[in-house]
Structure 1
Amino acid sequence: MAGMLETIAIPRASVFSSSSARSVPIADLSVSGGRRSSAVNFSQFSGLKVQLNQSPVSFSSRSESVRRGGRIVCEAQESTTVTAAAVTDKTWKSLVIESKLPVLVEFWAPWCGPCKMIHPIINELAQEYAGKFSFFQLNTDESPSIASEYGIRSIPTVMIFKNGEKKDAVIGAVPKTTLATSIEKFL
């Protein structure tokens, strides 16, 4: 079932019309029967659509007014997906060093191609070992002091910590089985 997150005002299309303006398709418009209502589906945002409703409202005069309203509806399925959370210089001690569970930390950077390849693997492992292991990602561009402290010279590097101590490290984009084997050693 779709839930309403927030009601917003949507300007009329005539506000945007201009002879110099370029037309860029961002949505598909569909009109359904019954109460005059329209739905605008945004192609760039999966699961989002705008519902526009026009309901006739009669007053004591002979003229008929139309009440317009709209809402953005998220139709995406609810998910309880577990993913590796971000850790920074400020949160390192509390999330990694003082953790009661063993911790896997992926050292990465946004520009790193192999890092993008290993992200889905880390997230799959986070789901599989939820409650048994904690999973974090540290952006080495944003937290260079932690990366330097642990001698990170190549990314992606995955380190496993237990009781606040570094126990294992895996360098490079490796298969899921390699990381799972490392994790199993510390359960």
Structure 2
Amino acid sequence: MPTTAAAIASPPSPGGSTTARRRKPLPLLRPRAASFLQPTRRLTARAVAASAGRRDRVVCKAKDASSATDHVGDVGEQTWDEAVLGCETAVLVEFWAPWCGPCRLMHPVIADLAKAYAGRLRCLRVNTDENQEVATRYGIRSIPTILIFSKGERKETIIGAVADTALAATVDRFL
């Protein structure tokens, strides 16, 4: 009697009979229609943007972008010691680059912060492409990076784009 895979795979019958019972072959596994992957309703681009915009959205409250950026100054290697380390008020310094998208998202947030804390906080920007020495001195490896100085001492480091409320709460600790 030839031995088949079905005979080997099937257990002997309870009565001790040596005849092999043939089992029905298992059906081939076919992928089911991925109904869970298909949306039940079509979302328009506006609906997607509206729902995505509800979470952790950074909002610029400035009416005129040019007037808001007037409150944020640029600083470089030559002016660093005087503008940042010699300042008696708290200083917020953003390390950025023109090609960095998250950096550009942070500009209006920092400009609004500069307007809100005028006289108590000085906000500055360092272009890391043009001032690599300053970035290297402070170990900047990712942009945007925001450093907060108080009386010439580095107090806080914030890496990446953050919400305006989180940034304001951090600044409040040092004022």
TM-score, L = length of structure 1: 0.57
Partner SS, residue 155 of structure 1: coil
Letter in 2 for 1:127: K
Once the two structures are TM-superposed, the CA of residue 83 in structure 1 deviates from its matched residue by 2.2
- Kindly report structure 1 stretches of 4+ aligned residues shifted beyond 3 Å: 79-82
Q: Aligned residue for 1:142?
A: 130
1:186 aligns with 2:165: no
Measured in 2, the distance between the counterparts of 1:178 and 1:87 equals 24
The 2-side partners of 1:144 and 1:186 are apart by 27
Correspondence 1:122 to 2:110? yes
The 2-side partners of 1:97 and 1:148 are apart by: 16
Q: Matches of residues 1-187 of structure 1 in structure 2 within 5 Å?
A: 81=68, 82-187=70-175
Q: Distance in 1 between matches of 2:99 and 2:71?
A: 20
Note the residue ranges of structure 2 that are not aligned, 5 or more in a row.
1-63
Aligned length, in residue pairs: 110
> More helix by proportion, 1 or 2?
2
Where 1:159 maps in the other structure, the secondary structure is strand
Larger radius of gyration: 2
Whose strand fraction is larger, Structure 1's or Structure 2's? 1
CA distance in 2, matches of 1:80, 1:137: 16
**% identity of equivalent residues:** 48
User: For the aligned residues, what is the CA RMSD?
Assistant: 1.5
Aligned-pair CA distance for 1:80: 6.1
